[in-house]
A = this chain, B = another copy of it.
Amino acid sequence: MYTSSEENYLKAILKLSRKGDSPVTTGALAAEMQTTAPSVTDMLRRLAEKQLATYEKYYGVQLTEEGVRIATALVRRHRLWEVFLTEKLGFLWDEVHDMAEQLEHVQHPELIERLDAFLGHPRFDPHGDPIPDAQGRWPERQRQPLSNVEVGGQAVVVGVDDHSTAFLQYLDRLGIGLGVHIAVLERVEYDHSLCVRLVEQGRDLTLSDKAARSLFVELL
């Protein structure tokens, strides 16, 4: 129906507009897609032509209802494949993105619903990101950065804001992953770094402010 390239743009536009930047600018899209502004302009024209987005020159782009529908389905596919790769094939959370990026473009009316059932209808992916359901509805969860938690507070890791390999592998080395129980022991005023205890492992460690802001938790 649509090319992989078109689908990738739709997904990027959805991502940026859900982050709050609406309408999405050519420059922001070029950065997100790691390409040049002229390439973006070309594609926006094609997407508008196909009624997947409304595009106003020198202003920006917004997805149409159909555009949102397609982009949401892509996010659903991407995240379900990520669950498959980690849960069934044993890949780590920092290894699955590129594969899912390819798998999400496989077209078939029933495939993804079968996969969803096979995986037990997961609501969140290996990074804690929500998986839209078949109707495009997003599961909600009240999460916040670990950096917001008061000293003395306790929380469970439910997601990451930074999906980079470097950060994810750093967390692995620290023993931090989804579901890990954290108690905040102390906040250093000087650089806002946090001393925390990993409750199950009984281990204490210090997290930089940058790291603490990139970790999402649910309060206990």
Contacts and interface: CB of A to CB of B under 8 A. Distances in A.
Contact of A115 (B89, B107, B115, B118): B89
A97 to B, nearest CB: 11
A111 B97 CA distance: 12
A114 interface: yes
A90 B106 contact: no
Interface of A: 85, 88-91, 98-99, 102-103, 105-108, 110-111, 114-115, 118
Report the copy number of this chain in the oligomer.
Answer: 2
Nearest to A103: B106
A89 B116 CA distance: 10
Nearest to A115: B89
Contacts of A88: 118
B111 A107 contact: no
A52 to B, nearest CB: 21
20 contacts: A85-B111, A88-B118, A89-B111, A89-B114, A89-B115, A89-B118, A90-B114, A91-B110, A91-B114, A98-B108, A99-B106, A99-B108, A99-B111, A102-B105, A102-B106, A102-B107, A102-B108, A103-B103, A103-B106, A106-B106
